[in-house]
A and B are shown apart, each in its own frame.
Chain A
Amino acid sequence: MIELRVNGLVRRGGAEPRTLLSDFLRHELGLTGTHVGCEHGVCGACTVELDGVAVRSCLLFAVQAEGREVRTVEGLEWGPMQEAFRRHHALQCGFCTPGILIAATALLERGPVSREQVIELLGGHLCRCTGYTPIVAAILEAAGEQ
């Protein structure tokens, strides 16, 4: 049994040492907004924040998050980023979207961003529906509104 803070709440759940954080969040805590797309760190769908830093939850063991602070897509406040994604049709199936929202939120929280930085950020996320262009536009628009 491990205890940690998730989206501001203290949560507990059972985890073997080998339980991936992605599985723990989804199946132990019911936070199914974090998605699993490859389990080898390429697709980025499972990205969450650990102590304020965006990380791949499929490359972390749940025990490593013990006593720490995790933020998932469910913990993001609805705001300019989400509005911009909707306006730009920056999601279709929506499966990759939570990971991108977490990573983009983390990037924007670090300060102003350029188009190049946004594209570079998305280099770590696979989207098979949109061709990425609307995602870049949405993140840049959200950045402008900050």
Chain B
Amino acid sequence: MTQARRAWVGESVPRFEDEALLRGRGRFMDDLAPVPNAGHAAIVRSPFAHATIGTVDASAALAVPGVRGILTGEDVLALSRPFPAGIESSVPYYAVANDVARYAGEPVAVVVADSRYIAEDAAELVAVEYDPLGPEEVTVHERSFSYGAVDAAFETADAVVRWRYAFPRWTGAPVECFGVVADWRDDGLTAWANFQGPFTLHSVAAAALGLRGTKLRLITPPDSGGSFGIKASVYVYVVLMGLASRKLGIPVRWTEDRLEHLTASAHSTGRVTDVEAAFASDGELLGLRYDVTEDVGAYVRAPEPATLYRMHGSLAGAYRVRNVAVRARVVLTNRCPSGLNRGFGGPQLYLALERTIDRAARQLAIDPAELRRRNLVQEFPWRSPSGGLYESGDYVACLAAALDLVGYDERRREQAAGRTIGIGIACVVEPSVSNMGYISLALGPDERAAGLPKSGNVEGCTITISPLGGIAVALSTTPQGQGHRTVAAQIVAERLGVAPDEVEVSSVLDTSTSAWSVASGAYSSRFSGVGAGAVAAAADKLATKIDTIRKHVGEDISLRRVAGMCHWSPESLPPGMEPGLSALAFFAAPNLEPPDPDDRVSSSGSHGFIADVAVVEVDHETGSVRVLDYVTVHDAGRLLNPLIVEGQVRGGFAHGAAAALFERIVYDEDGALLTGTFIDYLCPTAPDLPEPRIAHRESPQPSLPLGAKGLGEGNTMSAPAALLNAVADALGIDELELPLTPPRVWGALHA
């Protein structure tokens, strides 16, 4: 009999992932030995930020007992091609440096030995001739965009606000580092790696290896120890270890250590934004101009220059302004190549925009909350000037709720009474489910027209019901802690009339057997939009088939019975029905199109909204920022699992607050990395990190089957702006830069 259907979606179902992890039975990359006899790799890395490379003498290293072979730049040049990227660059990017090393930590050679210990011993003996060069900055990309009548807006403005904002490099620093096992055989590569997608990068890796796609079999482990975007860049090491395996004829295992991770995995871009904003005297935001310079490091590494364009549809943020212009530039520097990092372009955009709103409020003598309220988008669906489609929301209500929760008026009264607190607001549109076509904005309309138009964000899911009625779901969303298995079980359970714990979900992606697509992976907070959509679509297919069979039988037979018929007695099925009981479904956000000829694009399939209010107090003696309160009101549409939602919000906030108050990648003038350990790269711990108060509104997204929008990155985008606004408000000074560490705040006070 079918059970009474229960609405599992929306319930705080505790995670099925947890038990194994709590028992120490997780299966992370370095726990696995998928092939026997793998050699252990250590990488020889350039100590110089920029240097020509002369001879690489590996003879002493090769003589170390236990060493199984060495891969050098010469080999890599012979065996591979440069990694392709979204824009042409004068500097080809290979898995190791050949003639020139372009950042400190860049791989120069790989030593493979019987153990990592021996490999590190031998790596020290590889003699590399370096001839240091001076630092180099090259602009490799520039495009300008203008929407509406920007110049006219500035001509008629009553007030113009200008400022420059720098968002430093920082990095997600997952506690688990990169890991790869590479096994070259049968003219192809099988690699296990804690890669997170997007699987567009699978094609990039295959191209570098000179393999057609099916010859690069990439398999992810069941568990991954955090990523926050960073592990998208593992693919470079899949290629590197694949080449080592190819040359040496043995499988090669490489587990990145923390020094390597902080030096050479991936950082966020470093961005400098000049903003000009035109306002009418009543506070109406009339126009925005951005001039953005993006430091992507030593190479344009795919998917860069995506950071630059990820927010393109949301350049106007949450505001109604119709006139927006941006000039976007990409600069190569002698630093670690940038890559995905939680927020990906959002923290940088909103720091500039939301700080500008606060400065304008002061200049116009309008309360910053009121100024925002007057400008917030109020009609939905809303098409932003640069093309973003905001389908649903109630931004004004969210802001009002946040102000109410934080006791805004009372806090302002305290401030007026002389308490040296600061209040900072940030209103941000949180995009999720990246449009795979936005990156083609880097090309002009004519260039785009010449190629395949790209758009959408496809995800796949397979559900198989066994002969005994067991339900197995295979995801291609490569989670790193986001609870995809649990939420998928909820969705399938609800649609098939079972309990979630009767649904087995696997998150192992194997490119040879999984239902995956270019967009697959865990990034741009895409699970609740398209990941869940694919699960629902596959479950719906099965539910329809099961329903048809039940009608055919004329009885409400059990799922087990239905499964039995499909597997054991196909002749009993309705005429013409396919035997077996399995469904494969792909789902794409239905509202995404390629950039239009005027460069408009909805760069994301989904747009949530967040209103944050931070209240801080600054210790003028030490410069310490104490967060007295932090309220965040979210509208991410329908919440699929509130327990997991809360975790995502807290995690997103932790990264945003860390960028605001602690973390920064620092290089010296010679390009040496100064924050290469966890002693100097300041990840906050429990005593250091403030705690947000969280509230939700739910405006479901009409175009998505579950109505849920992404929410994993919003507070990473909003918190740096809200906290900077709060500290600036407390101190009454503008010359503040992230992170707001005590010495830097004190320095600004005494500048």
Direct contact of A and B (CB under 8 A): yes
A33: chain B residues within 8 A (beta carbon): 23-26
Contact B24 A124 (CB under 8 A): no
Task: Determine, out of A49-57, A85-93, A106-114, the stretch whose residues face the partner at the interface.
Answer: A85-93
Offer 23 A-B interface pairs, CB within 8 angstroms, sorted by A: A35-B175, A40-B258, A40-B678, A43-B258, A82-B23, A86-B18, A86-B19, A86-B22, A92-B481, A93-B174, A93-B176, A119-B687, A120-B687, A123-B685, A124-B685, A126-B175, A126-B685, A128-B173, A128-B228, A128-B683, A131-B653, A131-B691, A135-B686
CA–CA, A131 and B652, complex, Å: 8
Contact A93 B22 (CB under 8 A): no
CA–CA, A130 and B685, complex, Å: 11
CA–CA, A86 and B172, complex, Å: 24
Least Cβ–Cβ distance between B277 and chain A, in angstroms:
32
Q: A86-B15, A92-B651 are in contact. List 19 more A-B contacts (CB 8 A).
A: A32-B24, A33-B25, A37-B177, A39-B257, A43-B258, A45-B175, A72-B24, A92-B482, A93-B174, A95-B174, A95-B225, A95-B226, A98-B24, A122-B687, A128-B174, A131-B653, A132-B685, A133-B650, A134-B647
Q: Is B677 an interface residue (CB 8 A)?
A: yes
CA–CA, A133 and B655, complex, Å: 14
Q: Given that A18-B117, A93-B223, A123-B686 are contacting pairs, would A74 and B23 also be in contact in the complex, using a CB cutoff of 8 Å?
A: yes
CA–CA, A94 and B172, complex, Å: 16
Interface size class of A (residues with CB under 8 A): 35 or more
CA–CA, A131 and B653, complex, Å: 8
CA–CA, A42 and B683, complex, Å: 10
Give the 5 A-B CB pairs with smallest separation, nearest first: A33-B24, A95-B225, A93-B481, A94-B21, A92-B481
Contact B176 A37 (CB under 8 A): yes
CA–CA, A136 and B687, complex, Å: 10
Q: Is B629 an interface residue (CB 8 A)?
A: no
Contact B226 A87 (CB under 8 A): no
Q: Is the interface of B mostly helix, strand, loop or mixed?
A: loop
A134: chain B residues within 8 A (beta carbon): 646-647, 650
Q: Is B617 an interface residue (CB 8 A)?
A: no
Measuring CB to CB, which residues of chain A are less than 8 angstroms from any residue of chain B? 16, 18-19, 26, 31-40, 42-43, 45, 72-74, 76, 78, 82, 85-87, 89, 91-98, 101, 119-120, 122-136
Residue A119 contacts which of B482, B653, B686, B692 (CB distance < 8 angstroms)?
Answer: B686
Contact B224 A87 (CB under 8 A): no
Least Cβ–Cβ distance between B254 and chain A, in angstroms:
14
Residue A37 contacts which of B258, B480, B644, B651 (CB distance < 8 angstroms)?
Answer: B258
CA–CA, A32 and B176, complex, Å: 13
B746: chain A residues within 8 A (beta carbon): none
CA–CA, A125 and B687, complex, Å: 11
Nearest residue (CB) in B for A96 is: B175
Least Cβ–Cβ distance between B253 and chain A, in angstroms:
11
Least Cβ–Cβ distance between A118 and chain B, in angstroms:
8
Nearest residue (CB) in B for A33 is: B24
Least Cβ–Cβ distance between B651 and chain A, in angstroms:
5
A128: chain B residues within 8 A (beta carbon): 172-175, 226, 228, 651, 654-655, 683
Contact B686 A43 (CB under 8 A): no
Of the candidates B172, B175, B643, B646, the one having the most CB atoms from chain A within 10 angstroms of its own CB is B175
CA–CA, A65 and B480, complex, Å: 33
Q: Given that A40-B258, A93-B480 are contacting pairs, would A136 and B225 also be in contact in the complex, using a CB cutoff of 8 Å?
A: no
Q: Is B732 an interface residue (CB 8 A)?
A: no
Nearest residue (CB) in A for B25 is: A33
Nearest residue (CB) in A for B647 is: A89
Contact B24 A74 (CB under 8 A): yes
A101: chain B residues within 8 A (beta carbon): 22
Residue A82 contacts which of B22, B224, B480 (CB distance < 8 angstroms)?
Answer: B22
A42: chain B residues within 8 A (beta carbon): 677-679
Q: Given that A72-B24, A89-B647, A130-B654 are contacting pairs, would A40 and B685 also be in contact in the complex, using a CB cutoff of 8 Å?
A: no
A37: chain B residues within 8 A (beta carbon): 175-177, 225, 258
CA–CA, A135 and B22, complex, Å: 13
Q: Is B31 an interface residue (CB 8 A)?
A: yes
Residue A85 contacts which of B18, B224, B226 (CB distance < 8 angstroms)?
Answer: B18
Contact B687 A43 (CB under 8 A): no
CA–CA, A36 and B653, complex, Å: 25
A32: chain B residues within 8 A (beta carbon): 24, 26-28, 30-31
Least Cβ–Cβ distance between A72 and chain B, in angstroms:
7
Contact A95 B22 (CB under 8 A): no
Q: Is B381 an interface residue (CB 8 A)?
A: no
CA–CA, A42 and B152, complex, Å: 55
CA–CA, A124 and B578, complex, Å: 57
Nearest residue (CB) in A for B643 is: A89
CA–CA, A87 and B650, complex, Å: 16
Q: Is B689 an interface residue (CB 8 A)?
A: yes
Q: Is B14 an interface residue (CB 8 A)?
A: yes
Contact B117 A16 (CB under 8 A): yes
Least Cβ–Cβ distance between B281 and chain A, in angstroms:
41
Nearest residue (CB) in B for A16 is: B117
CA–CA, A93 and B478, complex, Å: 12
Q: Given that A92-B483, A131-B651 are contacting pairs, would A136 and B686 also be in contact in the complex, using a CB cutoff of 8 Å?
A: yes
A125: chain B residues within 8 A (beta carbon): 685-686
CA–CA, A94 and B176, complex, Å: 10
Contact B24 A129 (CB under 8 A): no
Residue B258 contacts which of A26, A38, A124, A127 (CB distance < 8 angstroms)?
Answer: A38
Q: Is B547 an interface residue (CB 8 A)?
A: no
CA–CA, A40 and B683, complex, Å: 14
Of the candidates B14, B21, B28, B678, the one having the most CB atoms from chain A within 10 angstroms of its own CB is B21
Nearest residue (CB) in A for B641 is: A89
Contact A95 B686 (CB under 8 A): no
Nearest residue (CB) in B for A74 is: B24
Contact B481 A86 (CB under 8 A): no
Q: Given that A95-B28, A123-B686, A133-B691 are contacting pairs, would A89 and B175 also be in contact in the complex, using a CB cutoff of 8 Å?
A: no
CA–CA, A19 and B275, complex, Å: 54
Contact A39 B258 (CB under 8 A): yes
Q: Is B394 an interface residue (CB 8 A)?
A: no
B616-657 CB contact bits vs A (8 Å, 1 = yes)? 000000000000000000000000000110110011011100
Contact A94 B23 (CB under 8 A): no
Q: Is B737 an interface residue (CB 8 A)?
A: no
Contact A129 B226 (CB under 8 A): yes
